Amino acid sequence: MYKYLIRQSLRELKVQFQNYFFLGLGLIIGAALFLYSFIMAIHTSSFPFADSLVFSGGICVAQLFSILFQKSLVFAMHPAAMHFFFNSEKLENIKTILFCKKIISKLVLSLLICLAILNFKLSINLWIKTFVLCTYFIICAFIRWFKYNRYRFDIIVVFYLFSSVLFLLAFSGTIIEATIPLFIFLIFTVYYNGKIKVDWGRYYEDALYQHRISSASRHKNLAEMHQIVAEHLARKKHRIRIYHLPLKKNNALLCKALIESLRMSKRGLALLGFLLVFAVLLNKTTIFAGIPIIGEPLLAPFLGMFAIGTFFANVKQIYSKQIASLYQKHKLGFFIPHTFMKIVSSYATVCCGFTTLIITVLCIIFRPGMIKSMIMLVIFNLIMVLSFLLLSKKRVSGLIDIVANLVFLFSSGLLF
């Protein structure tokens, strides 16, 4: 059976290579150019990447986001392997292979990161930091595994905090002796994994779903991908439903808009929120001071404008798709006892409320003054409403999106 799994993996790589050759080649060239400029910037920089608490703290935050929002399986077993080996001793061999695969991938990633921050110079410090970073990555992978199996929340928090503190002390060079306790904690984490009760039924469904998505994407089968996503969303459980709200005829669309806002992708919202956090940290703190390009004082306001403008452009796009979807159903014959203006007003109310809240928080942080704050509120909300109203005009909707995004970009400059 092992040879069939290897043969299937090779076939999958062959199909992916055939369908995405030029795209992959372009990505490789682009990544090579970016890495070259990044490496040159590191060589000319005096910022202590290797021993910086900011850098190691950023890794901890990135791992926290991964634990909270990453949905893919930590140890992804092929559905066929699980089906044939589930009640046999060979399942343990498959688990060992998956664990070794995870170690190798984290080791390669850790080595590349440490090579970059140490100016691509081989030394004992390089191997120590690689070992520390790889150990921390593996511990966080097991923490994700614990969370996936719905283990006790307090245990997960303790595991993350304890490993993060040891990692910060060891990687930043504060207490290099913390490397030994971190490795011991990894051994304890692997041992503790035996106490986790795995929901194999849920695991098989998720593995099958992930394999179907991967197979459809390799073969560029968009119809199957849409069907798989629709089936997955239909099975997804929601805690808040529309009948939980004070539903009436006049506020039905408003309640629907609220429900759709609450059901937005948490991962997508986290990524959008990162743009705002980046803009604030870049312009109101000295965390990025000394970092090549990003830490330049003259470029900081422009990067902040770009981040904030991108945030609001994505917010507008999210609500525009919701309005367009409902309007399209209305045009196709789905009975909706409301006009297009009523649809727009309901969704615009929720969107403008969210926009006003975010702009108010940004104005409190950046302190641009009362007049600039009010101008920014009026411009952003007005652009949102106008772009929603013009969604029914397909000929100008694309042009309106471009104009709206430019307005968001340049209007964000009122904060600086």
Q: Over 70: is that where the pLDDT of 278 sits?
A: yes
Q: Are residues 177 and 293 in the same domain?
A: no
- Rounded to whole angstroms, the Cα distance separating 367 from 364 reads 5
User: Could you give the dihedral angle defined by the CA atoms of residues 52, 58, 61 and 63, in that order, rounded to the nearest 10 degrees?
Assistant: -100
Q: Over 60: is that where the pLDDT of 46 sits?
A: no
> 247 is in which domain, residue-wise?
242-415
Number of domains comprising the chain: 3
Q: What is the pLDDT of residue 159?
A: 93
Q: Which amino acid is at 242?
A: I
Q: Are residues 267 and 317 in the same domain?
A: yes
Higher confidence at residue 16 or residue 162? Answer: 162
Q: Which two tokens stand for residue 390?
A: 């013009």
Highest mean pLDDT among 239-243, 269-273, 346-350, 397-401: 346-350
212-225: average pLDDT: 74
- Rounded to whole angstroms, the Cα distance separating 129 from 172 reads 9
Domain assignment of residue 317, yes or no: yes
Q: Which of 316, 305, 308, 304 is nearest to 401 (CA)?
A: 316
113-123: average pLDDT: 79
288-302: average pLDDT: 71
Domain assignment of residue 260, yes or no: yes
Domain assignment of residue 3, yes or no: no
- Give pLDDT tens digits for 165-187: 999 888 877 777 888 999 999 99
Q: Over 60: is that where the pLDDT of 335 sits?
A: yes
Q: What is the pLDDT of residue 341?
A: 83
Band (pLDDT 50/70/90 cuts) for residue 48 is: low
Higher confidence at residue 413 or residue 220? Answer: 413
Q: Are residues 124 and 215 in the same domain?
A: no
Q: What is the pLDDT of residue 163?
A: 93
Domain assignment of residue 11, yes or no: no
Residue linked to tokens 């969303």? 233
Q: Are residues 187 and 52 in the same domain?
A: yes
255-261: average pLDDT: 80
Domain assignment of residue 124, yes or no: yes
Q: What is the pLDDT of residue 244?
A: 59
